[in-house]
Structure formats: C-alpha cells, structure tokens
Amino acid sequence: MTDTATITTADRVSIIPIAGALGAELSGFDLSSELTDAEVQTIRQALLDHGVIFFHGQDFDTGAHKRLARRFGDIFNHPFLISDDPDVVTIVREPGDTRIVGEDWHSDTAMVAEPPMGAILIALEVPDYGGDTLFANQYLAYDALSDGMKDLLANLKALNSDRLVAGPGAAELSDSRSTKSRTGPDWRETVNAHPVVRTHPETGRKCLYVNHSYTVGFEGMTEDESKPLLNWLLEWGHRPEFTCRFRWRKGSVAFWDNRCTKHIAVDDVHDTRRVMRRIQIAGDRPY
C-alpha cells in the first residue's frame, strides 16, 4: 500500500489514508452518478494503493449500485447467501440475532475457482456507534514472514471449502441470523485449492491467502496435519499492525480488494437494526 499521507488528484478530490497498514477515505465523488473514465481510474488506482477505500455521504439505489460495480468488472453472484436478486446481497442484522455475516476474518467466497476481486458495500441503516469493520493487509502479512517461512509456503496450496458457512453443518449459524445461507438438500459443497501465497494480478505483489471462513487444510495433508501451521497463519494474518478499522455512517461505502485483504464484522451492538447492501465484482483464478 502507498505510504503517501495525502494525495490530491484534483481540486475537489482527496485521498486520505486512515491507517499505516491500509485504508483510505476518498472525497469528491458522487457514486450515484455516471463516473467519468478518469474518475474510475482514480478510484481503481486508490484501491490498488490502499487495499480498501471508503466514501461517506453517498446515496444510490440498487440500479446505480450495479452500474457502479460494472465499471470495475462483471458482477459476481454469491453462491450460498440467499437473496431475491442474484446480483445483490442485503446483509441484515436485527435485534435478537445472535450471529452475523462476516463474524470471522475472511476473504470473500474463497472456495470458488475464481473468487471475486472485490466488493462494494453501502450502509443503509447503522447504529449510532459500533458495528465497525476491520480490514487486514495481506501484503504486509506475507512481507513480515521470515525467509524460511516464505520458502516453506512457496509451493503450498490451501483447500478452501464453504462447508463452514453453508450446508447442513452451518444450519445453526444460519438460523441465528437474519441473512440466511443455503443449508438445505440443494446445497453441494464447493472446494478449490488456491496458493497459500498468491500473486496479485495487477500489482504483481505477493500476499498471504488463507482465511478462517473457508480454508480447511493444505493440499496433500490431512486436516489434522494442516492445523498447526494453518492456525498460526490465520492468526498471523490479522496482527494489529496489519489492520485498519472503519466506523460506518449511513451512506458510507467500502470498496475492498478481496485479493490482498481480509476483513471481519465486529458484533458489538445487539439491540439496533443494521442493513447493508453489497455487490461483488468477479475476479480470476489465484496464482
């Protein structure tokens, strides 16, 4: 990520980092409008530089949300979160829910062959405080490893499955929250092997690519054999110095690069409704 304190791309546009590890707030954009090619390029470069970018004071409907997402790629349809519109996932937390979507550190939908490159999430209803989201820079997580660990991981592949968050084994999880997963007889497990260390297709940088919600072991090993190293890597990937924390307001937008970051939703407000709308953007096979 860039270490520049403030970048001004035009008199009305500013990009202000929010933490040393990753994350920046952008101002001077109306995401409900038809963005110019120059604006799209500025946003894309900020995403590459900072891993996750944030906007405040935005207001756009589902149609405009889809139009915005398509400026950065094809829309990715989520395979197991239940939604009336396959292009969109509305993430709802109602008072009384005991579980939430995204409650573990994760990279989105990592079990598919070509995981999404990113997601754009807008806050529609939020509590006055709490319900923050944390993000972790997986470039830094890789860079900070010892040379010996980098050598060990160089050719290792991780098995990623959706059985922890969907299907019969996740029925209790789904029943405990307002946003539901597919858990019935029509669900089939999806498993794919991805490099533990992936190369970002646009920046060329290496980053760690394992996560709590989907990674279940290493290719060629049993899950029990995988656990000691995998558990260490999972915890290492979100050390405080690799992270930033974002406080939501109504109309706030987060756009994260799913290829080089992980994130987690903080479940610390239990008596207030929270509604977010998310669209994911298609990616490519990790290499």
Catalytic residues: 106, 108, 263, 278
First to last CA, the chain: 20
Q: How far is it, in rounded angstroms, from Cα 196 to Cα 157?
A: 5
Joined tokens for residue 32: 């409900």
Q: Do the Cβ atoms of 270 and 103 come closer than 8 Å?
A: no
Residue tagged 């190293």 (tokens)? 229
Q: How far is it, in rounded angstroms, from Cα 157 to Cα 154?
A: 9
Q: What angle do CA 25, 140, 133 make, to 5 degrees?
A: 45
Supply φ then ψ for residue 193, to 5 degrees.
-95, 130
Q: How far is it, in rounded angstroms, from Cα 224 to Cα 5?
A: 44
Q: Do the Cβ atoms of 283 and 76 come closer than 8 Å?
A: yes
Say how many CA atoms lie within 13 Å of 141 toward its Cβ: 28
